[in-house]
Amino acid sequence: MSFKDKVVIVTGASSGIGAATAVELCRQGAAVVLAARNQAKLAAVRARCAAAGPPPLLLPTDLVNEADLRNLVDKTVEKYGKIDVLINNAGFGSETPFEDPNAVIVFDDIIGLNLRAVVQLTHLALPHLIRSKGNVVNISSVAALSPIKDMFAYCTAKAGLDHFSRCIASELAPKGVRVNLVNPGPVRTDFVENMGKEEVGKFYENIGQMMPLKRVSEPEEITDVILFLASEKAKGVTGASWVTDDGHYAAFTRESGAWLHALPSPQLGTLLDNNTLRVAAALRVGCNEGEEHRCVCGATADRQGHHGLGCTRCARRFPRHHVLNDIIRRALVSANIPCTLGPPGLCRLDGKRPDGLTLVPWERGRCLLWDATCVSTFAASHINGTIRQAGSAAENAARHKHKKYSR
């Protein structure tokens, strides 16, 4: 990739992802404009940029100040005559519960920098981006995709940034302007330190162990994605959200509950007793349906029950497993399909418990011994398919059962 003769504005350029991106852009030959509030840090980044390539233009900017935003655009065009790329990277977060007395004040501050400033700066730069057939890269977060405890304001701002980006990507595409997003997970920057966290090194060590890839990203890794989206290599990409999070989103996304839509009875809700409805609703919306406990298999069964269905020894698995099969049985009965539900806890010769076995008439006069919840839809191997298509895990199980019992 080469950004020779390209003019690029980078906000939040004084540290972290913004600084790493500015340095690499200079290395690629771009004319870079550094925008941030901290002049001392900006000066240090400018020195790094100058060592890598063309010296950048340094413009100390308070991004929530409209006059400063206008000055940023005007000075850039005055010096370079155009704007090719706008990288909206500046942002901050705060751990503030919604119950906090200052929650709305914090919300206004976070929305102001993370969303409103992006909207306003993009709007001011738009005429120049249209003339240059340029593009915008907005730095969002996985916080836009799933909630984080005590960070309602930040999550809301980033979700708004995502949707704003998609909206204007659609609107500006006919004018040749591309707009894309990068949604990083944990990245080793001063973001956490600026939130007031202590023992930052230990924090990143702990959070890294929670990631499926057992690591935390470095700013330069996010830079690589940003530069790709801003380059001609991505000339067919607009309105895209590029997640780079060491596997966080895929692993921690809640079960969508889409599989419940695969049930055959439109009147299902009228057939459920209170306990069955409680479990079904809890699974669907991802809320708590029990107490966290240590299973006899050694794993932890959490309050949302994500462990229960996949474990053959968990005491909580059997009553819930039976209840879920009973949902299927009631649906089948309502569709005039005769079936029976085996009692839970019976032992077979192989030592397994045939709890919730449903006997369903099968083709050629045979009977299919059908266990509707034999597959854990919370297992990593099934989550992605279940989110996209209702009943995908059950369909996979059905194929195996059909092959087994039709011999």
- Is residue 356 very low, low, confident or very high in pLDDT (cuts 50, 70, 90)? very low
Q: How far apart are CA 31 and CA 53, in angstroms?
A: 9
- Is residue 35 very low, low, confident or very high in pLDDT (cuts 50, 70, 90)? very high
Cα 80 → chain centroid: 37
Our answer to whether residue 154 is catalytic in this structure is yes
How does pLDDT run across 258-267, given as a tens digit for each residue? 434 434 334 4
| Whether residue 285 has pLDDT greater than 70 | no
Q: Where are the alpha helices (DSSP H) in 173-241?
A: 191-194, 200-210, 219-230
How does pLDDT run across 126-184, given as a tens digit for each residue? 999 999 999 999 999 999 998 888 999 999 999 999 999 999 999 999 999 999 999 99
Do the Cβ atoms of 308 and 319 come closer than 8 Å?
A: no
How does pLDDT run across 308-317, given as a tens digit for each residue? 444 555 444 4
Residue type, 326: D
| Whether residue 227 has pLDDT greater than 50 | yes
| Whether residue 203 has pLDDT greater than 60 | yes
How far is the first Cα of the chain from the last one, in angstroms, to the nearest whole number?
A: 57
Take residue 160 and report the two structure tokens written for it.
């708004």
Q: How far apart are CA 172 and CA 194, in angstroms?
A: 35
- Is residue 200 very low, low, confident or very high in pLDDT (cuts 50, 70, 90)? confident
Mean pLDDT for 227-252 is 90
How does pLDDT run across 368-399, given as a tens digit for each residue? 444 444 444 444 555 566 556 655 655 666 56
Does the global pTM surpass 0.85? Answer: no
Q: How far apart are CA 95 and CA 196, in angstroms?
A: 9
* Average confidence score pLDDT of the chain: 78
Give the DSSP letter of residue 112. Answer: I
- Predicted local distance difference test score (pLDDT) of residue 193: 80
Q: How far apart are CA 54 and CA 164, in angstroms?
A: 33
Domains of the chain (ranges; CATH) run: 7-251 (3.40.50.720), 258-405 (no CATH)
Q: Which of 154, 204, 249, 405 is catalytic?
A: 154
